[in-house]
């Protein structure tokens, strides 16, 4: 169940499904409570709460599909194959479309011996919109204009800000914003607090976020170049939104979800309310098309095997390929000043940890950033490995295909020659 979009963070302590049924709770509250029960390994109670969520008239098609899937997982963890199959089948009928998650989800491992297992995966994949031609990708910016309509109203009526954002932003949400809300925002008052913590910043980013409309042609050009590099590439729709500074980019069954407030730098943007890491990461909005390509590559590449080495290569690959199509160093160019100056030392540190499954000091380690050393240096190492692999390859298109279909990270590293190259330096 771990990567299902609507597996939400736990809310209030609501452990009795019977008690839940007696309260007028929203679908979000039920999903929160069910996830808390799941995390506490109360699988029968969690299944019952997810079932209650599916029966709410207010449940969207996506909420119902995810709740049914999570219910199947709960039965899978109880060893009840018949019910796990029943609710998985219902979930697929309701539109569940994350075939990659289904294939790898250990909660449903007991179903893998079924003769129709591959058929279930194919049915799941068939629910997802697969886009082969870059020109068919939808680049959706309606959520940004809706945000600013809600923002102006909320500025005039601060006492009712939550209700205003609900009515004028979230009730009008694209399916992308719906997914982002479920996986990152969780509730409207929390979102309002996030906006209010950075009043000068949000007041200053309207021009840069609205400038996204003019960047769409560049995004599609980069997608076309990616298609030329890797003809088997498929794409998904892209949703640009304001996320309350929760996440710069994430993936959902609907497509790529870009929290553009984390990429809204530019003239006149006031950054004093941001932390040091947030300021350091805030690129110009003109660079956002590169971020979009980076995230799209995550949609195309194979999943990591869980090791630091594979995870770093996957992140570095996304940056390297985004750099190839944009003639840049990708979406994390800030890392190269420090990385290039300390490359041999970084490799020696990384090599000691690369076969383990702890990424703490290399990826998503913003708490370790200092004025001297940036975080996320695993991206830099992964980039340099991919760069070395690409440079030594006679067939560049095959090198790109090798990256995107990477299964054995250790063999890939060996073929790249990167370790020998960097250690040979004085």
Sheet strands (E) in 223-340? 238-241, 249-252, 255-259
Residue 161 lies in a domain: yes
Return the closest-CA partner of residue 316 out of 238, 403, 250. 403
Structure tokens at 42: 């109360």
Residues 154, 232 within the same domain: yes
pLDDT in tens, the chain (426 residues): 643 433 333 333 333 444 444 444 678 789 889 999 999 999 999 999 999 999 988 787 778 998 999 999 999 999 999 999 999 999 999 988 888 789 889 999 999 999 999 999 999 888 877 899 999 999 999 999 999 999 999 999 999 999 999 999 999 999 899 888 877 887 899 999 999 999 999 999 999 999 999 999 999 999 999 999 999 999 999 999 999 998 777 877 788 999 999 999 999 999 999 999 999 999 899 999 999 999 999 989 988 889 999 999 999 999 999 999 999 999 999 999 999 999 999 999 999 999 999 999 999 999 999 999 999 999 999 999 999 999 999 999 999 999 999 999 999 999 999 999 999 987
> CB of 331 within 8 A of CB of 219?
no
This prediction's pTM: 0.77
Residues 257, 308 within the same domain: no
Query: Could you say which of 126, 156, 178 is where a domain stops?
Result: 126
Residues 6+ apart with CB under 8 A from 351: 419
Q: How far apart are CA 302 and CA 403, in angstroms?
A: 9
Residue 2 lies in a domain: no
Residues 222, 94 within the same domain: no
Burial 164-202 (b: 16+ CB within 10 A, else e): bbbebbbebbbbbbbbbbbbbbbbbeebbebbeebeebb
Q: How far apart are CA 87 and CA 70, in angstroms?
A: 9
Residues 186, 223 within the same domain: yes
Query: Could you say which of 272, 297, 322 is where a domain stops?
Result: 297
Query: Could you say which of 126, 153, 186 is where a domain stops?
Result: 126
Residue 1 lies in a domain: no
Q: How far apart are CA 323 and CA 386, in angstroms?
A: 11
Residues 142, 283 within the same domain: yes
Residue 120 lies in a domain: yes
Residue 394 lies in a domain: yes
How many domains, in total, are found in the chain?
Answer: 3
Q: Residue 37: give the domain boundaries.
A: 17-126
Residues 95, 145 within the same domain: no
Residue 368 lies in a domain: yes
> In this structure, is the dihedral angle defined by the CA atoms of residues 197, 198, 202 and 204, taken in order, positive or negative?
positive
Residues 63, 210 within the same domain: no
């Amino acid at each position: 169940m771990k990567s299902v979009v609507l597996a939400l963070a736990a809310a209030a302590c609501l452990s009795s499904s019977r008690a839940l049924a007696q309260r007028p709770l929203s679908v979000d509250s039920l999903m929160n409570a069910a996830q808390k029960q799941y995390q506490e390994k109360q699988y029968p109670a969690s299944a019952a709460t997810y079932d209650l969520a599916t029966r709410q008239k207010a449940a969207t098609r996506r909420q119902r599909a995810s709740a049914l899937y999570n219910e199947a997982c709960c039965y899978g963890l109880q060893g009840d194959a018949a019910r796990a199959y029943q609710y998985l089948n219902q979930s697929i009928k309701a539109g569940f479309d994350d075939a990659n998650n289904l294939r790898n989800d250990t909660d449903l491992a007991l179903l893998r011996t079924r003769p129709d297992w591959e058929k279930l995966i194919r049915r799941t994949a068939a629910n997802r919109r697969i886009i082969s031609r870059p020109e068919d990708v939808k680049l959706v910016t309606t959520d940004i204009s809706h945000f600013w309509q809600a923002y102006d109203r909320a500025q005039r009526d601060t006492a009712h800000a939550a209700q205003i954002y609900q009515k004028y932003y979230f009730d009008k949400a694209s399916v992308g914003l719906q997914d982002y809300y479920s996986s990152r925002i969780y509730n409207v008052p929390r979102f309002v607090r996030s906006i209010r913590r950075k009043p000068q910043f949000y007041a200053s980013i309207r021009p840069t976020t609205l400038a996204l409309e003019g960047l769409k042609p560049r995004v599609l050009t980069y997608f076309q170049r990616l298609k030329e590099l890797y003809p088997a590439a498929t794409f998904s729709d892209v949703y640009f939104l304001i996320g309350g500074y929760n996440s710069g980019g994430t993936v959902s069954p609907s497509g790529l979800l870009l929290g553009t407030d984390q990429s809204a730098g530019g003239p006149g943007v006031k950054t004093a309310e941001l932390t040091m890491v947030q300021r350091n990461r805030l690129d110009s909005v003109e660079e956002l098309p590169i971020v979009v390509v980076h995230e799209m590559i995550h949609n195309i590449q194979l999943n990591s095997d869980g090791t630091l080495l594979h995870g770093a290569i996957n992140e570095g690959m996304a940056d390297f390929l985004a750099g190839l199509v944009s003639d840049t160093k990708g979406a994390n160019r800030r890392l190269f000043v420090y990385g290039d100056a300390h490359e041999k030392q970084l490799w020696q540190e990384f090599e000691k940890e690369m076969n383990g499954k702890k990424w703490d000091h290399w990826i998503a380690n913003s708490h370790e950033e200092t004025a001297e050393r940036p975080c996320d240096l695993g991206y830099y190492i992964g980039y340099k490995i991919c760069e070395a692999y690409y440079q030594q390859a006679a067939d560049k298109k095959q090198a790109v295909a090798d990256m995107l279909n990477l299964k054995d990270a250790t063999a890939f590293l060996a073929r790249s020659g990167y370790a020998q190259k960097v250690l040979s330096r004085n």
